[in-house]
Amino acid sequence: MIASAQGARCLRGAVNLLEERYKSFDITRPIASSIPIDTPLMRPAIALTQSFYQRMNTTFTARVRRGLGRLAQLVLLPAVLAYGLAAPSAKASVAAPPVIYIQAIDPVLAGLNGAPVFTWRTDGRPLQFGGGVDRTHTGFPPVDVYFGVMIPGGRLFTWTPGTGSEPNLREGLFPAGQGITAIQISTRDLLGASPQRPFSSADPLGVYSIFLFLTSPGADPRDARGWYGASMSPLVITN
């Protein structure tokens, strides 16, 4: 866990370093040395050239920063989910981190052994997903609960209560439950049922990350400073 946390901090530091480097980056600097000596005849051309490259520089750096922001989201969010890097201010209010478990199981065998599944094929058979939280030793302030999956490529989906017996799977981060004060939290209780999903040849192959995390009520789920705990379980989909 220590090595994992250090690795995630290194990733965050690398992104910060890139952002600082590009703040001072200026593509006009190499060009400035090639501009002819300042003379009354050349001043209009110099001004026009500098204005043109300044606009290019502004557009370029804006695009780089947007790209770095996207990189931070793709790299740091999985790291936080995988290593449970909730902010110290959020964890400081509880005695110990909550125990969080996540399972993907074959629904056909759910009533028998219920062994967790970490690999699955795109043959149309459904998988059943579930998770829970034990806060016996942590205290139990109200929390919002997020339960979902990150698919290959970085898109996020979360389950929310459905109108019938089947929970909804929505793209984005939406809570499965809000203001929950129970000591024992079950995603099945929050959603009304354990979600199931078949995988077919239309689904992307690769590693899926099933996640469950808790935030303070109403907190932005993308800001880990408001998290109380997080866990992630991998699922490899093959054909």
Q: Which token pair is 205?
A: 């192959």
For the chain, give the percent of residues with pLDDT over 90. 45
pLDDT by residue (tens digit) across 71-127?
Answer: 444 444 555 454 444 444 444 444 578 999 999 999 887 666 667 889 999 999 999
pLDDT score at 193: 93
- Which has the closest alpha carbon to 152: 76, 81, 74? 74
| Same domain, yes or no: 100 and 213 | yes
Residue that terminates a domain, selected from 83, 118, 135: 83
| Same domain, yes or no: 208 and 133 | yes
| Same domain, yes or no: 117 and 225 | yes
The contacts of residue 135 (CB under 8 Å, 6+ apart) are 94, 98, 99, 182, 183, 184, 185
Please check whether residue 161 is in contact with residue 218, taking contact to mean a CB–CB distance below 8 angstroms. no
| Same domain, yes or no: 123 and 211 | yes
Compute how many other C-beta atoms are within 10 angstroms of the C-beta atom of residue 232: 20
- Provide the mean pLDDT of the chain: 74
Question: How far is residue 130's CA from residue 114's CA, in Å, rounded to a whole number?
Answer: 11
| Same domain, yes or no: 215 and 109 | yes
Distance of CA 128 to the CA centre of its chain: 22
Residue that terminates a domain, selected from 26, 57, 83: 83
User: CATH number for the domain including 135?
Assistant: 2.60.40.3880
Question: Residue 104: is it exposed, middle or buried by C-beta count within 10 angstroms (0-12/13-18/19+)?
Answer: buried
| Same domain, yes or no: 78 and 100 | no
**pTM > 0.75: yes or no:** no
What's the total number of domains in the chain? 2
pLDDT score at 163: 80
pLDDT by residue (tens digit) across 39-82?
Answer: 555 555 555 555 554 555 555 445 544 544 444 444 445 554 54
Range of the domain at 48: 2-83
Coil, helix or strand for 138? coil
Coil, helix or strand for 91? helix
| Same domain, yes or no: 6 and 116 | no
| Same domain, yes or no: 136 and 198 | yes
| Same domain, yes or no: 43 and 129 | no
| Same domain, yes or no: 97 and 199 | yes
pLDDT of residue 145 exceeding 80, the answer is yes
